[in-house]
Amino acid sequence: MNLKPLDDRIVIKQSEAEEKTAGGIILPDSAKEKPLIGKVVAVGPGKLLDDGKRAKMSVKKKDEVIYGKYVGSDIEIDREKYVILRESDVLGIVEK
């Protein structure tokens, strides 16, 4: 994938949706919810500040992050699902 996000945007590869519930019920594609967690695959250079400098990004490539349900733009490249969103739409970084 050759996609370079601009400014404070990041590209996230979505995690796979759950195939079945905790009780063991297999979910059809129409019932699966959009995952809210994913891995950062590309990061922009940072937001351009009023003084012409760039703000430092808090997330970096390969971070696993949690983001809001109704944020970003969903795209598909080579049959892989990605989300492009602003850094401020990230709710947190998953630390292991």
* pLDDT value of residue 84: 94
- What's the average model confidence in pLDDT over 15-27? 62
* pLDDT value of residue 8: 92
Q: In what order do the strands lie in the sheet with 80-86?
A: 73-77, 80-86, 9-14, 37-43, 64-67, 90-94
Report how far residue 68's alpha carbon sits from residue 88's, in angstroms, rounded to the nearest whole number. Answer: 10
The residue among 18, 23, 10 whose CA lies nearest residue 73 is 10
Domains defined for the chain, CATH in brackets:
9-16+29-94 (2.30.33.40)
